[in-house]
Amino acid sequence: SSDECTASSQHCAVSNECRNASSFAQLVSSYFDSTADTNNDRNLSVLPQLRGTIDHLLSAHELTSLLASLPSDMFIDAAGYNTDVNERSRGGYTAPVGYAAIGLRELSSPTYVTKATYDKILQIRELVRFTTEQSLHLCPGTLYIDYSTISQKMEGGTHRPHADNCYHYYDEANHNLATCHSTTTTTATMMKEHPHPQRVAASILYLNDEFDGGEFYFANRHAGDGDDVVDTLVPVQPGRMMYFTSGVENLHGALPVRRRIKKDHQQKAEPTRRLALAMWYVTDPELEEYVPPFRDVIDSHQSLGDDETKNGSQTTTKDVTDPNDPNAPEQLFSIRIPSNDFSMATTSLVEGMGIYLTSEQNAHRSSWKVNRYGDEGDTLHVLFKDHSAMFSLNFKLENDLVIIIVERHTDGRKRPSLQYMLQESVMLHSVLDALSRLISEVNLDEAETTFTKDVDLARQTLPARRA
Ligand SMILES: O=C(O)CCC(=O)C(=O)O
Ligand SMILES: [Fe+2]
């Protein structure tokens, strides 16, 4: 089981075993297990499993075209941080010096980038998430993105050592080592609560290197900001990605960004800036950040979700679809279940799938919304949170067959978001799994049936499961 993939076992690296959220949490806490180690009560052998560097995540071409398509200004000062002066005086969650950023809210607007650039950024964002997950030997789907941003540090921009999910203290009783939990009540009450205690990991993908300095570093866990604060220095390289867990085991910062002085006097007039795609992760799907669909300049039509609540009857599947109707749903696949093999009535099948999808909805409440339509309740609609698309399951009884038609619906103007497309295939695979379970409960002769063949065919049309 995945529980075996903990700090003490070398299992994860050599086998396909993956960590789930709880065995991951266990691994992180094993770093603080003082029994394991004599070196300052920190289990240093765990550290390499909690951080790392991946180079050449993007090709030189991808980097060049991404950089060329990013806005040269319009970055928002201190985006994602608290700008409250009172907060600043408490040493709370305030932005680093010389820092500005743009998040998905900005990037989804044509004021900032084109739709193609936004799509590319979302694609890179998913690649980075996936790579972080794999690098930490996490099971597919363990990490949800809580915040992603393109960060910019200008000349002089720097980042003091910090942990990403807590404020740290130097614990005098414990060799002046940094810790998240203050033992002195005065310090504890002085400090405000960290705004992101749920963050478990972060990644930073560096995009350019037209500057000097600006190195990332892991900080020494001993007290003081002196010369020895840098423990491990990581020079910035375009296409280099750092990942690390978010606690005090990975105190980190960035050295000041300096202007690059070129010898050939061909100095560009462009201001010095250090660009990165920074992302923070949680394991609770409820905390996943909203991915807005790209906003077209003219955005006058109603969203899918609005239409839906207004008029449930329009949701019945059309038998004849006009190929020129942009609102026509796209059939993804259909599944036939011979009803003489199958004692379960259509209604109980709809019921079973409804219950299954509703439980999925509850497990990922922020992602999908399930509705049931039709007089006999023979259609299930599964709407994605960004309202860019939905899919439907329509159940029909035809002669001696139950037919389930699976369709994708959009508003006919915008394509489904990339996030929708990625999650749709995951959902549809699990719908087919659930259907197969329902069918096997009624003892259908598995191997040779129409049903099994249709399921296999359907799976072939879906992108492969992430494994
Ligand atoms: O830009 C960097 O290299 C570090 C950024 C960082 O640690 C943060 O924003 O939390
Ligand atoms: Fe950080």
Pocket probe mutation, ligand 1, options 152, 159, 234, max atoms within 8 Å of Cβ:
159
Q: Is the domain of 313 the same as that of 279?
A: no
pLDDT in tens, 194-205: 889 999 999 999
- pLDDT-wise least confident of 225-234, 272-281, 336-345: 336-345
Show the CA angle centred on residue 282, arms to residues 27 and 358, nearest 5°: 115
The residue whose CA has the least distance to atom 7 of ligand 1 is 253
Q: Is the domain of 310 the same as that of 260?
A: no
The residue whose CA has the least distance to atom 3 of ligand 1 is 216
Judged by phi (left if over 0) then psi (alpha if -120 to 50, else beta), residue 137 lies in left
Look up residue 325 and give its two tokens: 């109707």
Q: Does 23 have pLDDT greater than 90?
A: yes
Pocket probe mutation, ligand 1, options 53, 82, 94, 151, max atoms within 8 Å of Cβ:
151
Q: Cβ atoms within 10 A of the Cβ of 381, count?
A: 21
pLDDT in tens, 78-133: 777 765 555 545 556 677 778 888 999 889 988 889 999 999 999 999 999 999 99
The pLDDT score that the predictor gives to residue 134 is: 94
Q: Does 456 have pLDDT greater than 50?
A: yes
Q: Which atom of ligand 1 is nearest to the CA of 274?
A: 1
User: 29 lies in a domain?
Assistant: no
333, 335, 373, 336: which is closest to 354 by C-alpha?
Answer: 373
Q: Is the domain of 177 the same as that of 236?
A: yes
242 C-alpha to center of ligand 2: Å?
11
249 C-alpha to center of ligand 1: Å?
15
Q: Is the domain of 105 the same as that of 164?
A: yes
Q: Does 413 have pLDDT greater than 60?
A: yes
Look up residue 369 and give its two tokens: 């919304």
* Residue finishing a domain among 229, 252, 287: 287
- Helix ranges (DSSP H) in 136-283: 185-190
User: 36 lies in a domain?
Assistant: no
- Mean pLDDT over residues 393-413, rounded? 83
The pLDDT score that the predictor gives to residue 454 is: 92
The pLDDT score that the predictor gives to residue 376 is: 56
Q: Is the domain of 219 the same as that of 89?
A: yes
| Number of independent structural domains in the chain | 2
CA distance 359 to 380: 14
The pLDDT score that the predictor gives to residue 434 is: 87
The pLDDT score that the predictor gives to residue 262 is: 74
User: 295 lies in a domain?
Assistant: no
Domain carrying residue 341? 304-461
Q: Is the domain of 159 the same as that of 103?
A: yes
274 lines ligand 1 (CB under 6 A): no
Q: Does 345 have pLDDT greater than 70?
A: no
Q: Is the domain of 200 the same as that of 269?
A: yes
Q: Does 219 have pLDDT greater than 90?
A: yes
307 C-alpha to center of ligand 2: Å?
42
Average predicted confidence (pLDDT) for the chain: 79
Q: Output the domain CATH number for residue 72.
A: 2.60.120.620
User: 102 lies in a domain?
Assistant: yes
Q: Is the domain of 76 the same as that of 215?
A: yes
The pLDDT score that the predictor gives to residue 418 is: 85
Question: Minimum-distance ligand to the CA of 147?
Answer: 1
Q: Is the domain of 315 the same as that of 272?
A: no
Q: Does 165 have pLDDT greater than 50?
A: yes
CA distance 412 to 326: 4
